[in-house]
Amino acid sequence: MINQLVMVDIPGPTLDAATRAHLERYRPGGIVLFRKNIVSMQQTRDLILELKALLGDDLLMAIDAEGGGVWRMDFLPFAPSAASLGASNDPALAFEVGRAVGRGLRGMGFNWNFAPVLDVNNNPLNPVISDRSFGEDPERVAALGAAWAEGLLLEGIAPCAKHFPGHGDTALDSHHDLPRVDKPLSTLEMLELLPFKQTLALMPSIMTSHIVYPALDSLPATLSTRILTGLLREDWGYEGVIVTDSMGMAAIDAHWGRGEAAVLSIAAGADMLEGLGGLASQVATFEALEVAEREGRISADRIEASLERLRSLVRAYPIAPVEYSSDALEADRKVMQSAWQRGITRIGEASIPAPNSQIALIAASEVPGENVAELGISGAALQLALEGVYDVTPILFDPSAPLEVLPAVQAARAAGRTLVFATTTRRRLTPLVCELAFAAKPDLHLALWNAYNVTDVPAPALVTFGYRKDAIAALLEVLRGAPITGVAPVTLI
């Protein structure tokens, strides 16, 4: 039964024979789907129902559908990022976006969404949170996160608050390193912990972070009895499901290994592990847990307590697809585009070029995906979009050698074109791209992902907090004259 405390991923959009046999042998309690698994609404629904038939009615089917750069479905309206909703700062709007997200997920058959992110974004150098946070004010994060989650709940999808106790003030990415947050408990209580504590009664599940908080424990939260059992269960009285972030991330795997980390995490109080990775990694997790159960390192009572929480979750949120009509999809697209537009924020005295004027677009040619985030918008795709408003001369640079386009920038300036510099990366700009920006002295900066990049480009800016299709459509409306009403949810200048 201990294997039901593990959630795994699968290789592709269909069940191959090897994966089916693996799942039948180990019988995990949950499956999480990613971009590699999702092709269409119908295909995803069929896959989920096939997995349910294979693994049983108690199966939890999860996805990271946060919005912004963490959104797996091109065939659904693109939900605004948390930062975009933070800029509009309207809980009613966050609720409607959460409902729209929930309708799409329910249409595919999911019953669990690993969102909202309740991290307080208070570190400009954070390499992994960026647009995923509602902002730097913990009260705003709590209010908007609660409203967003309530929308999901109304549509029959279980939300999951993450990344407890808070990933907002780290300069390292736990996919690659083991971050630390060295703050006294009093500060953690006012900032990082506040959104989780204020929304505790609403959230049926919470995801742990692979971060060390010395004020709480010397172990990362995912492995910490003091944090998961002591703080969350005993001090706060939380009775919902505790799920870990991916145990394949280097913060855990590189230090403890899959098997030992799995045992430590369940013993510490986690109810479900994200045992993601290839079949060999998954087997290491399952077999370590099976041995720990036989040897008594994890008691039968401990296992049964987690199983009962997981059963309660799936009873409250069963896999039960509901038709997602074309009319509902179109209505939700309007909700998303309106929300994206309301989040667009002006920084400085940004003067918008008149429609049909001549601009030179300076942008990266390609933006790779990274870890949880999807591919960014390419320079060519952004050029094509802006050609709906302007006469565009593209100046697309290789991010590894951006200064090579300086002659083209200088020629565009001499020709009288308005220089528009677009930043399209989740991370802060590299020193070479910063050098290009300072040499170009653009007239307008379009910050399409990481809002903190406005501090690296010497120009007034429009910040969209996202680059997905519906975000770009909202930006085009602003460039054509729609009002700009967003207020940055983090300090940018």
Residue among 46, 58, 175, 253 flagged as catalytic: 175
H/E element holding 24? helix 17-26
Structure tokens at 357: 């004027």
In this predicted structure, the answer to whether residue 479 has a pLDDT above a threshold of 70 is yes
Q: Name residues whose C-beta falls within 8 Å of residue 268's C-beta, 6 or more positions apart in sequence.
A: 219, 222, 223, 224, 225, 227, 228, 229
- DSSP string over 348-403: SSPPPPPTT-EEEEEEES----BTTB-----HHHHHHHHTTTSEEEEEEE-TTSGG
53-66 burial, b for 16+ CB within 10 Å, e for fewer? eebeebbbbbbbbb
245 is catalytic: yes
The pLDDT assigned to 427 comes to 87
445 is catalytic: no
Report strand pairing: 205-208 vs 241-246. parallel
- The residue among 123 and 301 whose pLDDT is bigger is 301
**CA separation for the pair 484, 462 (Å, rounded):** 9
Structure tokens at 68: 């912004």
Total-model pTM: 0.95
R_g over Cα of the chain: 23
**pLDDT band with cut points at 50, 70 and 90 for residue 105:** very high
In this predicted structure, the answer to whether residue 150 has a pLDDT above a threshold of 70 is yes
The pLDDT assigned to 251 comes to 84
**CA–CA–CA angle 330, 335, 340 (5° rounding):** 125
269-311 per-position pLDDT tens digit: 999 999 999 999 999 999 999 999 999 999 999 999 999 999 9
Taking residues 197-210, report their average pLDDT: 97
User: Residue 264 region, left (φ>0) first, then alpha (ψ -120 to 50), else beta?
Assistant: alpha
**pLDDT band with cut points at 50, 70 and 90 for residue 168:** confident
Q: Which of 73-87, 168-182, 418-432, 447-461 has the lowest mean pLDDT?
A: 168-182
**CA separation for the pair 122, 110 (Å, rounded):** 32
Strand partners, 32: 62
In this predicted structure, the answer to whether residue 324 has a pLDDT above a threshold of 80 is yes
**CA separation for the pair 468, 422 (Å, rounded):** 14
**CA separation for the pair 462, 446 (Å, rounded):** 5
447-477 per-position pLDDT tens digit: 999 999 999 999 999 999 999 999 999 999 9
366-394 per-position pLDDT tens digit: 987 766 667 789 999 999 999 999 999 99
127-145 burial, b for 16+ CB within 10 Å, e for fewer? bbbbbbbbbbbbebbbbbb
H/E element holding 421? strand 418-423
Domain at 2-316, CATH homologous superfamily: Glycoside hydrolase, family 3, N-terminal domain (3.20.20.300)
**pLDDT band with cut points at 50, 70 and 90 for residue 128:** confident
* The 345-347 sheet, strands edge to edge: 345-347, 461-463, 444-447, 418-423, 358-364, 391-397
Mean pLDDT of the chain: 95
**CA separation for the pair 125, 97 (Å, rounded):** 28
Q: What are phi and psi of 459, to 5 degrees?
A: -160, 150
Taking residues 310-331, report their average pLDDT: 96
Residue type at 67 in one-letter notation: G
Q: Name residues whose C-beta falls within 8 Å of residue 320's C-beta, 6 or more positions apart in sequence.
A: 106, 109, 111, 156
Q: Where are the domains of the chain?
A: 2-316, 345-463
In this predicted structure, the answer to whether residue 161 has a pLDDT above a threshold of 80 is yes
Query: Closest Cα partner for 45 from 63, 25, 67, 23?
Result: 63
Structure tokens at 331: 């209505």
Neighbouring C-beta atoms of residue 458, cutoff 10 Å:
15
Indicate the length of the chain as a whole number: 493
Residue among 64, 131, 217, 245 flagged as catalytic: 245
**CA separation for the pair 335, 460 (Å, rounded):** 28
In this predicted structure, the answer to whether residue 114 has a pLDDT above a threshold of 90 is yes
The DSSP code for 199 is T
Q: Name residues whose C-beta falls within 8 Å of residue 349's C-beta, 6 or more positions apart in sequence.
A: 460
The pLDDT assigned to 130 comes to 85
CB 433 within 8 A of CB 383: no
H/E element holding 474? helix 469-479
235-248 per-position pLDDT tens digit: 999 999 999 999 98
Q: Name residues whose C-beta falls within 8 Å of residue 127's C-beta, 6 or more positions apart in sequence.
A: 171, 172, 173, 426, 427, 428
The pLDDT assigned to 86 comes to 98
Report the Cα 213 to chain-centroid distance in Å: 22
